[in-house]
């Protein structure tokens, strides 16, 4: 699944720079996650980094965007190949 930022977001700016895929951006009122770029940090880290740093715990799984670990890995590989995501270190 991709992740989703809820309206509990306080716009603290800590999640955006942590996303290795550039999936997080400032929205009209709160930060938003582009599901097509979100891999839950699969390929980069053991846990989603935005969730690790969020001080208000407002980043749940997006029930509208279900993906398996294999699908997330394939998305990560496509994003890296396209130069959208940073390669894993």
Residue 51 is predicted with a pLDDT of: 98
DSSP 3-state assignment of 32? strand
- C-alpha radius of gyration, the chain, whole number: 12
Question: What backbone phi and psi angles, to 5 degrees, belong to 71?
Answer: -70, -40
Residue 15 is predicted with a pLDDT of: 98
Residue 60 is predicted with a pLDDT of: 97
Confirm whether pTM is higher than 0.85: yes
Per-position DSSP letters for 46-70, written without gaps between them: SS-HHHHH-TT----B-TTS---HH
Fold of 16-81: Alpha-Beta Plaits (3.30.70)
Q: Profile the chain (89 residues) by mean pLDDT over runs of 10 residues.
A: 94 96 96 97 96 98 94 95 80
73 vs 28: CA distance, rounded Å: 30
Residue ranges per domain, the chain?
A: 16-81
Residue 85 is predicted with a pLDDT of: 83
């Amino acid at each position: 699944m991709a992740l989703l930022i809820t309206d509990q977001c306080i716009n603290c700016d800590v999640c955006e720079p942590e996303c290795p895929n550039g999936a997080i951006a400032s929205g009209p009122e709160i930060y938003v996650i582009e599901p097509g770029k979100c891999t839950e940090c699969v390929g980069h880290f053991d846990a989603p980094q935005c969730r690790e740093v969020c001080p208000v715990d407002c980043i749940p799984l997006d029930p509208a965007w279900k993906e398996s670990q294999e699908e997330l890995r394939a998305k990560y590989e496509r994003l890296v190949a396209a130069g959208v995501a940073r390669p894993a270190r």
